[in-house]
Structure 1
Amino acid sequence: MSQDTSTRQETGTDGETEAPDSIPDGTPADSPKRPFTLTLRSLPRPRFAVRARARRWRAAHPGAAQALSVTVTLLAAALVVVALGMPNSVDRVHTSTFVRIPAEAVIGAAVMIALPRRPRVALAVVSGVALAAMTVLNVLDMGFNQYLGRGFNAVLDWSLFGDAESYLVDSIGHTATVAAVIAVILLVLLIFVLLALSMVRLSNLLARHPVLATRGTLIAGVVWITSSSLGLQMFGMPLATDTTANALKDQAHRISNAIKDEAAFRKVAKVDAFGNTPGSQLVPDLRGKDMIFTFIESYGRSAVEDPIMAPGVDATLDARTKALAKAGFHAKSGWLTSATYGGSSWLGHSTTMSGLWISNQQRYRTVMASDHLSLTDAFKKTGGFDTVGVMPGVQKGWPEQKWYGLDKVYNAFQLGYQGPKFSWSTMPDQYTLQQFQDRVHSRKPADGKSRMSFLILTSSHQPWAPIPKMVPWDQLGNGSVFDSIEKAGHPSSYTLTDDTHSKQEYGKSIQYSVTALTEWLERYGTKDTVLVFLGDHQPNAHASGNHASRDVPVSIVAKDPKLLDKVASWNWTDGLRPAHNAPVWKMSAFRDRFLTAFGSTPHPKKN
């Protein structure tokens, strides 16, 4: 290699080219022993090059550089303040929420001022990451409060993200869901990076101006203590706040309570008032009956009482009560307070059937692994009933079948449906009921037993668009008759972002489900048919509104007046529409009350 290319040349301050004193590895330039070799060390360092360009730009544009620096600092401060003041509920998000004095900021500033550079930067990064984590948890709380009526549980709720993803796929499609998931992941990472960098920038600012920073921190501290002591407010909100500290304390309590609850609930689940009752002493007054338990998805109190939804739903309930009465059926209705809200329907199903308050996933897993008697299994235990489940929402293995005591289960793929999905719902309720009639109800058990059936109807599942419509029962076929109805309906996005649309379409979906079920009963029910149907939970806040109750309607329908006489002491309302002041029970109370009303004898199983 020639000398012209084997030595690096540098430009001097006068613009002339000068030979270097040495090559990059320190060897004298005139030494013949080590020719120049291109290495990573011989290349310019990008970080230093970027810094050099930044310094040159600041020198050339001092005004713009100063404005940019101030802007970035203000944005960093704003991001930190927003994160510190972030509430965990959508209805608490107001401008006034973020213009208060956070105690965490005052304490953090005081600590940062006192630390030397390296510990200060390390603490700033750790604080930024911790603040980002709390921000993400607060946002999760917002979502869970809006859709499930409770905060996010960092111990129990991670498994629900898979269900959320499946729901999005059914609502907006696979491609859009993948894009949304990627966007969320990138946004979360961005929040962590930006808050860490913001904390470092603000800590450096404090370090560069220690006197001014100390004075400002002392003033802010005095104002915070005074405001907190006197209860001073701004725009109706306390001026002094410690939102992040309280949120952290709340998360710690949730984790602690979840761990304690698991152990305590295991003991509760082992206690069963009917756990040792012989089959011969279970539901003797229902022997020979055609027993059907049906859950209507998201059928909640709001459907019956909300001013937007109630007129249509109530008119449907009243009309169907009259139609059933004409066919010889009579009904009584009341209220149950569900163990869940907005979703997690399986918690409502299992609470009703077990007589236990199953309000979270850990409790659900505990019960499913236990031998606690389910209401459905009580019928099987008598030896006089075959048990069957029809589950159009089940699209994978369902090991819970064993705990429920169901001899046979028909899932979404075993009902022969070849029509379109209606968002999350795999098939319209009318089709499900006709398949139940054709495959189950019309066929008597070969062994001369009666039958207990367990149905889950799904057409009223959010997002309530598009909604199926009733068609002539003899035209259902394989379900393809619903193609034109699905295409003519609103897209799923119609209700996802508009609460008024959510209320209107939710109400219509309940009308459809109630009509389909009661028309089936009117068409195919017999003198021995006993139908119990209820909601599993209230719809989410988009339909039920913030702070709605957890109550759901429950009705029992039969032709035999003697059966309804057995529940006269319940003081339920006549007909399918429960009165506003009808009795309200916890959903977990239903199993024992039902078993007792129909002649079952308690034989407790103790822990």
Structure 2
Amino acid sequence: MSALPSAEDVAEEITGPAPPGSRRPRVPWRAWTRRWRARHPGAARALSVTVTVLAAAVVLAALVMPDSVARLGPAAFVRLPAEAVVGAAVLLALPHRPRVAVAAVSGVLLGAVTVLDALDMGFGQYLGRTFDVVLDWSLLGDAESYLEDSLGRPAALAAVAGAVVLVLLALVLPALSLVRLAGLLARHPGPAHRATLVAAVVWITCSALGLRLTDVPVASDRTVSALRTQAHRIADTLRDEAAFRKTARTDAFGNTPPGQLVPDLRGKDVIFTFIESYGRSAVEDPGIAPGVDRTLDARTRALAKAGFHARSGWLTSATYGGSSWLGHSTTMSGLWISNQQRYRTVMASDHLSLTEAFRKTGAYQTVGVMPGVQKGWPEQAWYGLDKVYDAFQLGYRGPKFSWSTMPDQYALQQYQERVHARPPAAGKSRMSLLILTSSHQPWAPVPRMTDWDRLGDGSVFGPMAAAGDDPADVIADTARSREAYGRSVRYSVTALTEWLERYGTDDTVLVFLGDHQPIARVSGGHASRDVPVSIVARDPRILDKTDAWHWTDGLRPAHDAPVWRMSAFRDRFLRAYGSTPHPRKG
């Protein structure tokens, strides 16, 4: 192929030499390209064919793009899309300007569907569900914050910039490709009509016979199906929100007098604790569970020596892989809070939370320890917490452990010093809500247990964090992520139960559970949404109240232990400890 002539050479051939001291007239781009094609017909023809083939590949890939990583294989792209056949017929029937406009708009729409397919893949890999066009845009900001906290601001900005470029390319390339293909059809109407007819016959035949290539139908209508699915999701989301608002206004304990709420826990020091990403996979997945199970069994024995006994079961979380606040609020509200709009609805309501029930009695001071909260947290009012210690109020001077602002052991020691070791107001008991974060992805670096008396201001964790794994290395490696996840759960469970063994009293009642399973890449594509839940106490009467639950003795729930929806926990707990329902109707 000959080298391309310079713009000056072409301009001189077209307009002649420029007069001395004057600027050469500007040559239009089309004139430049026409001249180059005339001088190099072979190269021009090869370039044109290459660009056309690439345009066809872009359109075909966008038309048959699956919405799941599991279906993302070669067979998914060796298909005949019905939309291509219909689109060719429509474009052939249109005059020039409408044809270009329809091709461009259709290309942008096709690009938008491709972006949604990519979001479905990402959400499926990390959150075990599809992307909700109405509700999930706000989570993209949370994803950026997560990347910044885990990998640093430069990496997060680079990732965001890369994502923006990819989205723009996904919108622009199909539009340009369709415009080019539409022009090709218009220049060769005879062969285009015949090819379109043949393709239609082939598609109908493949569809009628159900022909498949490695379980993938050859005849595809993927884009139309995707648009139809998105339309149904949007309609379902809007209907769901209207129905949920009515549900949130009803409450089995909404009108229960303060004196009839948790009377059997009066005088007890009640602690609810969520362990980040502590899911059923940690206890039962063959690649993760052995180490976690040994830890649970060892900690059960250690607690028994200290006079504590436990019972454990399973709860099915309302979320998966992330959005921990949905698991927290579902447990405490008794409502199934599975998306952000439901969460906002409940936070703006007066629906009784389990923690607020303790405050409402007038017999408890209520406190929260939230090392993961790094900004204003108006939800404190709905949770009924008199005081909240966030990430900036625990005196930590050590390094962050990726997303986690501080190790769980340090957060627990600060809870002990700032809250638990201090007596509540005269005549009152205490209810605490703790959210532990060390088992949050990307699980690198993972802290290790250290001497409780040497924790100080957290500076002792400096060398530990510096010697730990780099989050960027672990987050992209499934095997390392699974191993590190198991270590993080062992650490969190050990820190919590050692704190109880060290500082618990005869009046301590600890309820701890996971908020959700880890991301699908770690827990597996077909893992359940179940999380372990345990109640630990010295007073045998506390556990006796749960006899009807048939939970497993110890910190490790049996495989066949009862499984409840997470939204069932609030009411069952309130009833078990003497609360009397007084419903409030919506």
In the superposition, the TM-score normalised over structure 2's length comes to 0.96
- Return the alpha-carbon distance in structure 1 between the equivalents of residues 38 and 85 of structure 2: 35
Matching of residue 366 in structure 1 with residue 345 in structure 2:
yes
Alpha-carbon spacing, 1:232–1:479, altered in 2? closer, same or farther (3 Å): same
Q: 1:549 aligns with which of 528, 537, 551?
A: 528
Q: 1:515 aligns with which of 490, 494, 510?
A: 494
- Return the alpha-carbon distance in structure 2 between the equivalents of residues 195 and 458 of structure 1: 43
Matching of residue 187 in structure 1 with residue 166 in structure 2:
yes
Shift of the alpha carbon at 1:17? 9.5
Task: Spell out the pairing of 1:73-84 with structure 2 (5 A cutoff).
Answer: 73-84=52-63
User: Could you report, residue by residue, the CA deviation over 1:433-481 in whole angstroms, capped at 9, with x for unpaired residues?
Assistant: 0000000000111222000000000000000000000000000000000
Structure 1: runs of 5 or more not aligned: 1-9, 19-37
Secondary structure (helix, strand or coil) at the match of 1:555 reads: strand
Task: Spell out the pairing of 1:1-150 with structure 2 (5 A cutoff).
Answer: 44=25, 48=28, 50-150=29-129
User: Could you report, residue by residue, the CA deviation over 1:108-149 in whole angstroms, capped at 9, with x for unpaired residues?
Assistant: 011111111111100000000000111111111111111111
Secondary structure (helix, strand or coil) at the match of 2:456 reads: coil
User: Could you report, residue by residue, the CA deviation over 1:356-408 in whole angstroms, capped at 9, with x for unpaired residues?
Assistant: 00000000000000000000000111111100000000000000000000000
Q: 2:431 aligns with which of 433, 452, 456?
A: 452
Shift of the alpha carbon at 1:45? 5.1
Matching of residue 248 in structure 1 with residue 227 in structure 2:
yes
- Return the alpha-carbon distance in structure 1 between the equivalents of residues 584 and 26 of structure 2: 75
Over aligned residues, Cα RMSD in angstroms?
Answer: 1.7
Alpha-carbon spacing, 1:185–1:43, altered in 2? closer, same or farther (3 Å): farther
Alpha-carbon spacing, 1:201–1:13, altered in 2? closer, same or farther (3 Å): closer
Matching of residue 430 in structure 1 with residue 409 in structure 2:
yes
Letter of the structure 2 residue corresponding to residue 178 of structure 1: L
Number of aligned residue pairs: give it.
574
Matching of residue 227 in structure 1 with residue 211 in structure 2:
no
Secondary structure (helix, strand or coil) at the match of 1:557 reads: strand
Bigger CA drift: 475-484 or 160-169?
160-169
Matching of residue 317 in structure 1 with residue 287 in structure 2:
no
Shift of the alpha carbon at 1:44? 4.5
- Return the alpha-carbon distance in structure 1 between the equivalents of residues 579 and 195 of structure 2: 73
Matched residue, 1:335: 314
Shift of the alpha carbon at 1:159? 1.1
Matching of residue 292 in structure 1 with residue 271 in structure 2:
yes
Secondary structure (helix, strand or coil) at the match of 1:477 reads: coil
Letter of the structure 1 residue corresponding to residue 240 of structure 2: D
- Return the alpha-carbon distance in structure 1 between the equivalents of residues 467 and 14 of structure 2: 77
Matched residue, 1:257: 236
Matching of residue 481 in structure 1 with residue 460 in structure 2:
yes
Letter of the structure 2 residue corresponding to residue 52 of structure 1: A
Matched residue, 2:391: 412
Alpha-carbon spacing, 1:14–1:249, altered in 2? closer, same or farther (3 Å): closer
Secondary structure (helix, strand or coil) at the match of 2:535 reads: strand
Letter of the structure 1 residue corresponding to residue 66 of structure 2: P
- Return the alpha-carbon distance in structure 2 between the equivalents of residues 452 and 356 of structure 1: 21
Alpha-carbon spacing, 1:61–1:519, altered in 2? closer, same or farther (3 Å): same
Matching of residue 379 in structure 1 with residue 366 in structure 2:
no
Matched residue, 1:176: 155
- Return the alpha-carbon distance in structure 2 between the equivalents of residues 520 and 354 of structure 1: 27
- Return the alpha-carbon distance in structure 2 between the equivalents of residues 292 and 240 of structure 1: 58
Letter of the structure 1 residue corresponding to residue 264 of structure 2: D
Alpha-carbon spacing, 1:548–1:12, altered in 2? closer, same or farther (3 Å): closer
Matched residue, 1:352: 331
Contact 2:365 2:425 in 1 (8 A): no
Matched residue, 1:33: none
Letter of the structure 2 residue corresponding to residue 589 of structure 1: A
Matched residue, 1:589: 568
Letter of the structure 2 residue corresponding to residue 321 of structure 1: T
Task: Spell out the pairing of 1:158-169 with structure 2 (5 A cutoff).
Answer: 158-169=137-148
Matching of residue 579 in structure 1 with residue 561 in structure 2:
no
Matching of residue 155 in structure 1 with residue 134 in structure 2:
yes
Matched residue, 1:34: none
- Return the alpha-carbon distance in structure 1 between the equivalents of residues 165 and 440 of structure 2: 30
- Return the alpha-carbon distance in structure 1 between the equivalents of residues 566 and 12 of structure 2: 84
- Return the alpha-carbon distance in structure 2 between the equivalents of residues 503 and 17 of structure 1: 70
Structure 2: runs of 5 or more not aligned: 1-10
Shift of the alpha carbon at 1:13? 9.3
Shift of the alpha carbon at 1:333? 0.5
- Return the alpha-carbon distance in structure 1 between the equivalents of residues 38 and 169 of structure 2: 30
Q: 2:177 aligns with which of 192, 198, 203?
A: 198
User: Could you report, residue by residue, the CA deviation over 1:294-336 in whole angstroms, capped at 9, with x for unpaired residues?
Assistant: 0000000001111111010001000000000111000010000
Contact 2:18 2:24 in 1 (8 A): no
Matched residue, 1:269: 248
- Return the alpha-carbon distance in structure 1 between the equivalents of residues 218 and 170 of structure 2: 26
Secondary structure (helix, strand or coil) at the match of 1:341 reads: coil
- Return the alpha-carbon distance in structure 1 between the equivalents of residues 37 and 201 of structure 2: 38
Q: 1:307 aligns with which of 264, 270, 286?
A: 286
Contact 2:278 2:489 in 1 (8 A): yes
Bigger CA drift: 255-264 or 588-597?
255-264
User: Could you report, residue by residue, the CA deviation over 1:71-124 in whole angstroms, capped at 9, with x for unpaired residues?
Assistant: 111111101111111111111100100110111111101111111111110000
Letter of the structure 1 residue corresponding to residue 132 of structure 2: N
Shift of the alpha carbon at 1:265? 0.5
Letter of the structure 1 residue corresponding to residue 265 of structure 2: L
- Return the alpha-carbon distance in structure 1 between the equivalents of residues 164 and 18 of structure 2: 52
- Return the alpha-carbon distance in structure 2 between the equivalents of residues 507 and 461 of structure 1: 11
Alpha-carbon spacing, 1:44–1:568, altered in 2? closer, same or farther (3 Å): farther
- Return the alpha-carbon distance in structure 1 between the equivalents of residues 476 and 192 of structure 2: 44
Contact 2:314 2:531 in 1 (8 A): yes
Shift of the alpha carbon at 1:253? 1.2
Secondary structure (helix, strand or coil) at the match of 2:274 reads: strand
Secondary structure (helix, strand or coil) at the match of 1:318 reads: helix
Percent identity for Structure 1 against Structure 2: 72
Alpha-carbon spacing, 1:202–1:378, altered in 2? closer, same or farther (3 Å): same
